[in-house]
Chain A
Amino acid sequence: MDEQTKQFRLKFKQQLIEWLQLEDKTPEDIVDDQPLFGEGLGLDSLDAVEIVIALKREYNIPQTEVDKNREIFVSFEALADFVQKHL
């Protein structure tokens, strides 16, 4: 993984912790290839809508773009890569 990606993933983990009020989590707790929903981080449908809005607000990624790529929610890695591509 290049340095830029590493840096971005760390920042993005901190953002997820803030957006989703994951108050007892640190960036280290978010494992790159683990699932975000159900298992893994244990997020749910309300977190999903929170992420969609935050991606629009912070990264200007339109909701329609997210809707077309629902597979990005499978893991942190998939979501982070999707966002990084939109930087």
Chain B
Amino acid sequence: MPGTSSTIPIIGMGIISALGNDLEATRERLFSQNPPMPALPTKIDTSLALPVFEVAGFPSRGSQPGGYSLQLLMHALDEALRNANLNLERGSKVGVCIGTTVACQLNSIPFYEQLRQGNMPPAEPLINYLEGNPAEYIRRKFGLTGPALTISNACASGADAIGIAATWLRSGVCDIAIAGGTDEINKVPLDGFNALGVCSPQPCRPFDSQRQGLNLGEGAGVIILSNKGQSQLALAGFGKTADAFHITQPDPAGTGLEKAIRLACEDGGIDCDQLAFCNAHGTGTIANDIVESQVFERVLGAGARFLSTKSLTGHTLGAAGAIEAIITLLLLQEKRLPASVRFQVPSPEMPVAPVAKETSLDNSKYALSTSLAFGGSNTALVLAVANGTNEPTKPSRVPCAKTIFAGDNALNQEQLAKTRSKYALRRADRFTTLAIAGIDQSVTTELPENTALLTVSAFGPHKTVFATLDGILDFPEDQIQPTRFSHSVHNAASSYIATAFGLRGPSYALTGFENPLEDALDLAQSLVATGQAPCALVVQVEEQGALTAVLPQICPQQYPVEPEEIVAVYKY
């Protein structure tokens, strides 16, 4: 049933990546005979000989809140607002949800170098980090009054931001939402992904038998969703699942990804065979591409039509889901797909292969974009070219969350040790252990498998971020500990919680400094109200460490983040 009430018009888009610095440049370059090629990084200092896809012709404006990632984001937002012909008035209730990985971690090496020597670190990197939380920055800049959440679900963040924005619109939280993702080439993920053995020393070749891994990229993508908008473009549906399998490895059976795709189609009121094509996550790593191609065959059939545009943009991490959603819409508008760049020889382990030559799409309305992340987080978006508008029926909202655990300083070492042993948390850091201990002490009945899981934290696992920086400072760049890096992302805790409690529903790691808990609780309510989950668990965690200890001295009273350990659990 195309055009059901769930379709949400996309009234504006903006994009910047190695493919081009705006929509038209991107559209043109997608089909160019001279596609962008990755090269050694010029914007960061690294000894690793790993090619990356940098944005060209958009120099950094130096040290500013949010760093280069925020500059990329504001560039894409500016285009999206012009594209939507939207003038954001101060005080308007517009929601902002932005995915990122780099912009929500304090991974400044000069800052940490001083801190670990016991010196007072420079204030600027910390202030830029606090003021540069992407979603909150946009809300402040335009004086908006809707929710603002920055999501850090690793490589699925940009797609998840779109799903969250759609959830707000469907549940009546706001009528317009800005959603997107942004990330810059940064030394920490480059060294980390290299340590994990997933970076290719050659230009990446997704789905090819000779693929050697991914190339990082950078960029930003922003879309503007509006319930009341008129547009040819729309988000028809989305699906979000967790694997509850492993911290870095995708579930080899691909069950979670398959479920996310089926949910997205169901949500959009279409059959999977109505999809014209899929813009795959397609990182070019050994494991990802096998799982994805097997799932595509199961869901889309032996004639599955798909490609990965990461061979044109690189893997832009927290921006990837948003950039690829926009590219998917451009391809639907163009009614054709480019040949998969550098794909030559199909891999024998893959039942289906990507499009090998330029392919025209006949009269197709729908396409899929998939995103997979560390920690087993799967997102599928169904994008559409369609005419007309509609206003969704707004569901009634359930009552407020119940605080079931407020464990400020209530978890002692013994309880934490018991938790570690009970849930086999060998590699989990203290941040994750705190979260699981809080749930263990408060959730007494078994949680339904599709329970939504929201973790919310200002600083996230910052001690593990610093431990990763220790590796970068102490060891040669190609010898840092991959386990530390993989646990430094905000959603590492979500992955452990999902595995410990068997949760395979929507899972979001949210972060901010302006009371993100309130918006997270509200989102939990919306997820239940829109039928995406039977119930929701919200877990707030802040851990104490070197950073929270110096915070009051560096920015006294500027940010009301308690330098206290906090574990709180809420359930709807």
Contact = CB atoms under 8 A, between A and B. Distances in A.
Interface of A: 19-24, 44-47, 49-50, 52-54, 56-57, 63
B478 A46 contact: no
A20 B484 CA distance: 10
24 contacts: A19-B481, A20-B426, A20-B427, A21-B483, A22-B426, A23-B420, A24-B426, A44-B246, A44-B249, A45-B246, A45-B248, A45-B249, A46-B246, A46-B482, A46-B483, A47-B483, A49-B197, A49-B482, A50-B482, A52-B197, A53-B479, A53-B480, A56-B479, A57-B475
A50 B483 contact: yes
A52 B483 CA distance: 12
B421 interface: yes
A22 B424 CA distance: 11
A37 to B, nearest CB: 13
A23 B426 contact: yes
Contact of B195 (A21, A22, A47, A49): A49
The 5 closest A-B pairs by CB, nearest first: A57-B479, A49-B482, A49-B197, A50-B483, A21-B427
Contacts of B480: 53
A28 to B, nearest CB: 18
A21 B484 CA distance: 11
Nearest to B482: A49
B481 to A, nearest CB: 6
Contacts of B426: 20-24
A19 B481 CA distance: 9
Contacts of B247: 46
Nearest to A22: B426
Contacts of A19: 481
A15 to B, nearest CB: 13
B531 interface: no
A24 B420 CA distance: 10
A47 B249 CA distance: 12
Contact of A46 (B420, B421, B475, B486): B486
B196 interface: yes
B476 interface: yes
A22 B425 CA distance: 10
B195 A53 contact: yes
Nearest to A47: B483
Contacts of B420: 23
Nearest to B426: A21
Contacts of B248: 45-46
Contact of B421 (A24, A50, A54): A24
A69 B35 CA distance: 38
Given A52-B197, A53-B195, A46 B479 contact: no
Nearest to B483: A50
Contacts of A46: 196, 246-249, 427, 482-483, 486
Contacts of B196: 46, 49
Contacts of B482: 46, 49-50, 53
Contacts of B483: 20-21, 46-47, 50
B253 to A, nearest CB: 15
Contacts of B197: 49, 52, 63
Given A44-B246, A44-B249, A45-B248, A50 B479 contact: no
Contacts of A53: 195, 479-482
Contacts of B421: 24
Contacts of A52: 197
Nearest to A46: B248
B30 to A, nearest CB: 34
Interface in B426-453: 426-427
Nearest to A45: B249
Nearest to B246: A44
Interface string B234-265: 00000000000011110000000000000000
A54 B482 CA distance: 10
A47 B426 CA distance: 11
A44 to B, nearest CB: 7
Contacts of A20: 426-427, 483
A45 B482 CA distance: 11
Contacts of A50: 481-483
A50 B482 CA distance: 6
B550 to A, nearest CB: 27
A2 B486 CA distance: 39
Contacts of B249: 44-46
Contacts of A23: 420, 426
A53 B476 CA distance: 11
Contacts of B246: 44-46
Nearest to B421: A24
A40 B483 CA distance: 21
B472 to A, nearest CB: 13
Contacts of A56: 478-479
Contacts of A47: 483
A57 B427 contact: no
Given A45-B248, A63-B197, 5 more contacts: A44-B246, A46-B196, A46-B247, A49-B195, A49-B197
A63 B194 CA distance: 12
A20 B483 CA distance: 8
B546 to A, nearest CB: 20
Interface centre among A44, A46, A54, by most chain B C-beta atoms within 10 angstroms, is: A46
Contacts of B195: 49, 53
A22 B426 CA distance: 6
Interface in B476-517: 476, 478-483, 486
A42 to B, nearest CB: 9
A50 B483 CA distance: 7
Interface string B176-190: 000000000000000
A47 to B, nearest CB: 8
B135 to A, nearest CB: 31
